[in-house]
């Protein structure tokens, strides 16, 4: 088991990505972070709220009438 893990580790550690792929990954990561991606993941409000029975109240965040939800 140890021999196989060592060979897999050697293959992974010796593998090199192309420069264009690394540049594209860095650009995608920076756009995600600067665009507020972490905030969107953690603070994304629910879109559909259960009201009771078989009814659901659609909630569109950042809309002008989102202060009052009437179901």
Tens digits of per-residue pLDDT, 25-46? 999 999 999 998 888 777 766 5
pLDDT value of position 32: 92
More confident site: 2 or 19: 19
Give me Rg for the CA atoms of the chain: 23
Spatial distance between the Cα atoms of 69 and 61, rounded to a whole number of angstroms: 11
- Report helix, strand or coil for 50: strand
List all residues 6 or more positions away from 61 whose beta carbon is below 8 Å from its beta carbon: 45, 47
Closest to 69 (Cα-Cα) out of 59, 48, 54: 59
Read off the DSSP letter of residue 58: E
Q: Which residue has the higher pLDDT, 47 or 54?
A: 54
């Amino acid at each position: 088991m140890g021999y196989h893990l060592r060979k897999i580790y050697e293959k992974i550690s010796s593998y090199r990505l192309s420069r264009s792929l690394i540049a594209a990954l860095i650009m995608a990561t920076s756009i995600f972070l600067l665009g507020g991606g972490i905030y969107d993941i953690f603070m994304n409000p629910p879109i559909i709220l259960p009201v009771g029975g078989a009814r659901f109240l659609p909630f569109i965040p950042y809309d002008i009438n989102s202060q009052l939800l009437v179901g």
